[in-house]
Amino acid sequence: MIKIAPSILSADFSCLADEMKKVADAGAEYIHIDVMDGTFVPNITLGSPVVKCLRKASRAVFDVHLMVEHPETQISAFAEAGADIITFHIEAARHAHRIVQQIKAAGCRAGVALNPATPLVMLEELLGEIDVALLMTVNPGYGGQKFIPSMLEKIEILHHTVKDNGFDVDIEVDGGIQAETSKLVRAAGANILVAGSAIYGAPDAVEAIRRIRGEDG
Ligand code: DX5
Ligand code: ZN
């Protein structure tokens, strides 16, 4: 079952509630919220107080992607703000297993993200614990970048590992996903597709989501 997660990074930040409603009404299952701290990645986006306000405006599933150093210091704030899924970067975590437990204890689904240069082996000991594995298909930090094709093999290998071992883990991809690349990542085994510019930059969100989901035939 494919789930579409529009990234509000490409939305108009002056009216985020409307921008979220637009994509939820257009059929998106999740809202992908990119949190950047200006250190782990160069940009700064938003923090838990904003998520808390957005929560009042939407019942959608909030998929929070933490691109921050010291993610362990942010978990309770984002959980209390109304996150449903909290994903942190393995590159920013010293005690990843503990952070996963922290996220689950806070009542959220736990995700771990890997940068393009980070090998899958970094996930190995966590696959029995996590709900989501997020494979970055661009280097994190900006919307509108080009999909890195060599990530397809990484997705495929993870898909087989998950299937062959019976792990209950969704494979999420993030970066450069549009109609064409979505076909490739779906075929490789990804089932949560994040898309920012391809949805918010499109004239018609319904059509954009249908194409990314692969419903255009
Ligand atoms: C990148 C973010 C992405 C970004 C994707 O660092 O994690 O979620 O918004 O944007 P597109 O879909 O435009 O590549
Ligand atoms: Zn993201």
- At position 100, the amino acid (one-letter code) is V
End-to-end CA distance of the chain: 17
Helix or strand holding residue 99 (H, E): helix 96-105
Ligand nearest to the CA of 140: 1
Q: Which atom of ligand 1 is nearest to the CA of 195?
A: 12
Say what the pLDDT of residue 217 is: 52
- Mean pLDDT over 53-66 rounds to 98
Token pair belonging to 150: 């060599």
Q: What is the mean pLDDT of the chain?
A: 98
Ligand 1 pocket by C-beta < 6 Å: which residues? Answer: 7, 9-10, 32, 34, 65, 138, 140-145, 174-177, 194-198
Token pair belonging to 22: 């637009």
- Mean pLDDT over 31-48 rounds to 98
Q: What is the pTM assigned to this prediction?
A: 0.98
- Mean pLDDT over 9-15 rounds to 98
Ligand nearest to the CA of 43: 1
**DSSP SS3 for 71:** helix
Q: Compute CA distances 25 → 22, 182, 209, whole Å.
A: 5, 21, 11
Whole-angstrom Cα distance, residue 192 to residue 197? 16
CA of 136 to the centre of ligand 1 (A): 9
**Over pLDDT 70: what percentage of the chain?**
100
Token pair belonging to 98: 């503990």
In Å, how far from its chain's centre is CA 141?
13
Any idea which residues carry the catalytic annotation? 34, 174
Q: What is the largest CA-CA distance in the chain?
A: 45
pLDDT at 102 over 80: yes
**DSSP SS3 for 68:** coil
Of 147, 181, 213, 217, give the one whose Cα is nearest residue 6: 213
**Over pLDDT 90: what percentage of the chain?**
99
Rounded to 5 degrees, φ, ψ at 126 are: -110, -10
| pLDDT tens track for 110-168 | 999 999 999 999 999 999 999 999 999 999 999 999 999 999 999 999 999 999 999 99
- Mean pLDDT over 45-71 rounds to 98
Nearest CA to ligand 1 atom 10: 143
